[in-house]
Structure 1
Amino acid sequence: MTQPSLFISHGAPDLALSDSPARHFLEKLGKGLARPDAIVIASAHHEARGVAVRAPARFRTWHDFGNFDPRLFEMRYEPPGATALADEIVAMLAAVGLNPRREASDLIDHGAWVPLSLMFPAADVPVVMVSIDPSRDSHWHARIGAALAPLRERNVLLIGSGSISHNLRAIFSARPGADRAWIEDFTDWLEDTIRAGDGPALLDAMAEAPEAQRNHPTDEHLLPLFFAFGAGSRAPGRRLHHSYTHDLLAMDAYAFGRL
């Protein structure tokens, strides 16, 4: 079984409780996928210098946020870690000169556990977390994904979890019905570029895409897209979902490879 590479927008933590199109999409997506033997996920909230690979015997839920519905802090999503696969991933990344390391932490952040809890609610698929490094560029993150792309042919699902737009200042100050043209210009450009398989343009999105800096004042939530692109063998992708939460938080999702 060959799995796709996915990019998903994980939204705010309250996605886990919201009655939103994005939540329903992720629930449906999980049901529609062939059950993977393992999941490798690169979350925008798992930052490290270089590449850190995390896979404890069992993950522990990290409520890495505040000021949300108290019910969120009672939620637990604690899948097993794919420990042997993590060792193999370290070797695969080392073979291409990325100098990875294993992490001792057992925490799983909301950028991983919130979407995974919707896609695979039983928490029974083993997981490996691979970090992002905001000091590195899009090409570097695509290299990480490309190094792990062969795992897809072994029924391992590769996921980049970030946000297709992520201007928190605009979101927090938005009023209902706020203008989204600047987000649509950016996300439409991404869709066209990804569908065309224009890797050079995509990897230079922060310079080439319209309104890129406004959508991503910092780019850590876009870096998982480049991981997913590399993991999809830099092939053309297709947009699976487009909606909004919190008025200005776009929730686009992409697949690279057949679902």
Structure 2
Amino acid sequence: MHSSRFPVYFLSHGGGPWPWIAQMQDMYATTAREFAALPQRLPARPTAILVVSGHWEADAFTVSTAVQPPMEYDYHGFPEHTYHIRYPAPGAPALAARVRELLSGAAIATREDAQRGYDHGVFVPLHLMYPQAEVPVVMLSMKSNYDPAEHLRVGRALAPLRDEGVLIVGSGLTYHNMRGFGRDESTPVAAAFEAWLDGAISQPDPRVRDAMLLDWERGPGARQAHPREDHLVPLLVVAGAAGEDTGRALFVDHVMKVPMASYEFGGARQARA
């Protein structure tokens, strides 16, 4: 990897606003520790962060352009204080324009949204990585058709950002079946699918990796792990941006009886499994 080129990440962000809930902090202790350590793996502090969250989709790829993005409390049934969380990182309109320029150059239509705020797929990992909220953030939506090829193509178009000081993060979960969390029978399903994903992202030939991800539904337990693939699609964008770089598990946490894996592509240091 070029010494100044940023790695790209797929992060399993966990359930709701867990860092702000005492009863959930112990469950996610590994995730909290690893997210907090992630900036040390980068070649420098990023000039900005581009996040594709499993909590934002639109009928066209949409880029957030707010100078000071608001908050999106897109969860239900949590304590009142979690609806007052603030993550005051600024937006980055110049990066938003660059994202649209790169996607336009690849003949990918985009829109912009000046009102979109930070959902918990954004503010949970970033709060742990950069608690001072000093790094500007832009969000890119998924396209609601979830087409794997389109999302890989978006990632490929965005790859130049890695040489421009931008950290690209896909935020989702390797298992996201709301009816399955906490159930014993979910453990082998989630483990089998995560093992398959790990095998796909760690393929040394990126063409093999991408072909496997394009056909992700053939993975063991795929549709049981992802009845809707909203939390998997960000991985496709990340894999596209990874280009020739091989992926590896950054870490795997085990919460609510399922593994939750986070992946790194192109890191300069050996990751811990």
TM range (shorter): over 0.9
The separation in 2 between residues aligned to 1:253 and 1:13, in whole angstroms, is: 17
The separation in 1 between residues aligned to 2:246 and 2:145, in whole angstroms, is: 26
Q: CA deviation at 1:138?
A: 1.0
Match of 1:217 in 2: 227
Q: 2:77 aligns with which of 62, 67, 72?
A: 67
Q: What is the root-mean-square deviation of aligned Cα atoms in Å?
A: 1.6
Task: Please tell me the residue identity of whatever aligns with 1:190.
Answer: L
Structure 1, unpaired ranges of 5+: none
The separation in 2 between residues aligned to 1:74 and 1:97, in whole angstroms, is: 40
Match of 2:238 in 1: 228
The separation in 1 between residues aligned to 2:101 and 2:230, in whole angstroms, is: 25
Q: Secondary structure at the match of 2:111?
A: strand
Q: 2:254 aligns with which of 221, 230, 244?
A: 244
Q: 2:38 aligns with which of 26, 29, 44?
A: 29
Match of 1:257 in 2: 266
Task: Please tell me the residue identity of whatever aligns with 1:89.
Answer: V
Match of 1:182 in 2: 189
Match of 2:215 in 1: 204
Q: 1:152 aligns with which of 162, 169, 180?
A: 162
Q: 2:177 aligns with which of 158, 167, 171?
A: 167
Q: 1:195 aligns with which of 184, 189, 202?
A: 202
Task: Please tell me the residue identity of whatever aligns with 2:6.
Answer: Q
Match of 2:271 in 1: none
Task: Please tell me the residue identity of whatever aligns with 2:37.
Answer: K
Q: Indicate the percent of aligned positions where both proteins have the same amino acid.
A: 35
Deviations 1:188-232 (A, max 9, x none): 1111111114220122111x2100010000111100000100011
Q: 1:77 aligns with which of 83, 87, 96?
A: 87
The separation in 1 between residues aligned to 2:71 and 2:122, in whole angstroms, is: 10
8 Å CA contact 2:103, 2:110 repeated in 1: yes
Q: Secondary structure at the match of 1:241?
A: strand
Please say if 1:10 is aligned against 2:13: yes
Q: CA deviation at 1:11?
A: 1.2
Deviations 1:107-154 (A, max 9, x none): 111111111111111111111100002313111111111111001011
Q: Secondary structure at the match of 2:49?
A: strand
8 Å CA contact 1:16, 1:115 repeated in 2: no
Q: CA deviation at 1:157?
A: 0.3
Q: CA deviation at 1:106?
A: 3.9
TM-score by length of 1: 0.93
Q: CA deviation at 1:178?
A: 5.4
How many residues get paired?
254
The separation in 2 between residues aligned to 1:252 and 1:52, in whole angstroms, is: 27
The separation in 1 between residues aligned to 2:255 and 2:83, in whole angstroms, is: 20
The separation in 2 between residues aligned to 1:169 and 1:100, in whole angstroms, is: 34
Match of 2:65 in 1: 55
Q: CA deviation at 1:74?
A: 2.8
